């Protein structure tokens, strides 16, 4: 019998298990995961950016936990000898029309207390990124890069060192509650636990429904494909280069990201995935497709943004169109400078009215708690998210 079982061995689940054991070292804690090793989905498929927290509404969970988590992450990586680099980020306005939105970000950054922000004119922008177009930019020196797979591995080692158990190849199929005991049924047999914390990412809504939770918000998977700069073209990019977010589009837009191994990723785009683990265009799960396409929220979203959705799909199918979009920021970029890169799937929570859930969402009652929405910047915020969950769980579960 475990005291607390965490479902999901991504970076948030591992950070939560670690925090549980730090605060309550006598607890018997297990982490279940459907895969053979931790961090196989969102943790292992993201861009590796350590976000500063500039984008998020002051006072929101995303703003607070991103900023706290970012500071904790830098400290944690130093303590574990995990290399991370403060390469900084430019958020670039190309036209006068984008300047009001850039100014909104500046005001948010100041309100959130983001360290070292500066507003650059075109000349100052090109002092930092010689090949980048744009008329003005915010520079955020608090933004960095790291290998989140390495962070997840270190967190898993911490959990094991404190006598927590990580049980791979344990996909959860059902949850039954009898008195003070939860029976968590998996493909490898049943696990008995006094409490459950769901950190199931792409399957967060399904796990919540197993424990009597609401259908909404629903996880709708969006695939993001990256391109990679060829080695001989890496001189075009020094640090992170991001567009000014478009309020008519719910994602940050394609950007330029240096990686810890020396690669430079370009992207991602955002297209509807045909499976919750649909990392390629041809990966189709008919049950996932039916569930997604019949969800009222997706229908309403598609009707609201048909041109944007069509444009994203077109650029996904035609690489030259994708490069044309990126060339607005790096005019020297050519089709022959890039190679196909990896993909990720974003576990985006959506409401039935078609709105995308913007903030982190944690919910549950009794002996159960779930992370219902934790997309980017969840990796940056993971240590702070873990602390937030454990504070709530300690009260809710009476730990």
Q: Which domains does the chain have, with CATH numbers?
A: 4-45+149-215+358-396 (3.50.50.60), 89-141 (no CATH), 218-356 (3.30.9)
- Whether the Cβ atoms of residue 90 and residue 199 lie closer than 8 Å to each other: no
- Residue position matching structure tokens 């969970």: 61
List residues bridging with 345 in a β-sheet.
223
pTM of this structure? 0.96
**What pLDDT shows up at residue 223?**
94
Residue 347: C-alpha distances to residues 65, 109, 225, 226, 247 (Å):
18, 26, 15, 17, 20
**What pLDDT shows up at residue 249?**
65
Residues in the chain: 399
**What pLDDT shows up at residue 248?**
61
**What pLDDT shows up at residue 254?**
86
CA 371 from centre of chain: 13
Q: Could you tell me which residues come within 8 angstroms of residue 359 by beta carbon, excluding any fewer than 6 positions away? A: 57, 60, 61, 62, 373
Q: Could you tell me which residues come within 8 angstroms of residue 133 by beta carbon, excluding any fewer than 6 positions away? A: 92, 94, 328, 329, 330, 331
**What pLDDT shows up at residue 186?**
97
**What pLDDT shows up at residue 56?**
94
Which residues in the chain show pLDDT less than 50? none
Rg of the chain over Cα atoms, rounded to whole angstroms, equals 21
Burial of 364 (0-12, 13-18, 19+ CB in 10 A): buried
Tokens of 81: 């000898």
Main-chain dihedrals φ then ψ at residue 18, nearest 5 degrees:
-60, -45
Tokens of 150: 């390495």
């Amino acid at each position: 019998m475990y005291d607390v079982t965490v479902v999901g061995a991504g970076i948030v689940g591992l950070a939560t298990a670690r925090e549980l054991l730090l605060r309550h070292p006598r607890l018997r804690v297990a982490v279940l995961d459907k895969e053979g090793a931790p961090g196989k989905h969102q943790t292992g498929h993201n861009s590796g950016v350590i976000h500063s927290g500039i984008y998020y509404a002051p006072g929101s969970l995303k703003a607070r936990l991103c900023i706290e988590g970012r500071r904790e992450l830098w400290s944690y990586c130093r303590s574990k000898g995990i290399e991370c680099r403060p390469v900084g980020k430019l958020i670039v306005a190309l036209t006068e029309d984008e300047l009001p939105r850039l100014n909104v970000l500046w005001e948010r950054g100041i309100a959130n207390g983001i360290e070292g922000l500066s507003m650059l004119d075109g000349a100052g922008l090109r002092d930092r990124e010689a090949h980048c177009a744009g008329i003005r930019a915010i520079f955020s020196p608090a933004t960095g890069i790291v290998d989140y797979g390495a962070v997840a591995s270190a967190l898993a080692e911490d959990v094991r060192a404190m006598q927590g158990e990580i049980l791979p190849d344990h996909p959860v199929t059902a949850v039954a509650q009898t008195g003070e005991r939860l029976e968590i049924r998996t493909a490898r047999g049943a696990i008995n636990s006094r409490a459950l914390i769901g950190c199931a990412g792409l399957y967060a809504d399904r796990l919540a429904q197993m424990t009597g939770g609401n259908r909404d918000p629903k996880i709708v998977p969006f695939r993001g494909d990256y391109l990679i700069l060829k080695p001989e073209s890496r001189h075009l990019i020094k640090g992170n280069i991001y567009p000014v977010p478009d309020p008519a589009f719910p994602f940050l837009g394609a950007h330029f990201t240096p990686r810890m191994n020396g690669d430079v990723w370009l992207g991602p785009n955002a297209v509807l995935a045909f499976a919750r683990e649909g990392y390629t265009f041809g990966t189709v799960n008919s049950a996932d497709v039916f569930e997604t396409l019949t969800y009222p929220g997706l229908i309403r979203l598609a009707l609201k943004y048909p041109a944007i959705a069509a444009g994203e799909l077109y650029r996904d199918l035609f690489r030259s169109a994708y490069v044309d979009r990126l060339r607005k920021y790096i005019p020297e970029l050519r089709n022959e400078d890039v190679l196909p890169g990896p993909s990720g799937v974003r576990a985006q929570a959506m409401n039935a009215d078609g709105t995308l859930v913007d903030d982190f969402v944690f919910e549950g009652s009794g002996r159960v708690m779930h992370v219902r929405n934790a997309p980017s910047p969840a990796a940056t915020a993971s240590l702070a998210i873990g602390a937030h969950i454990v504070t709530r769980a300690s009260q809710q579960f009476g730990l």
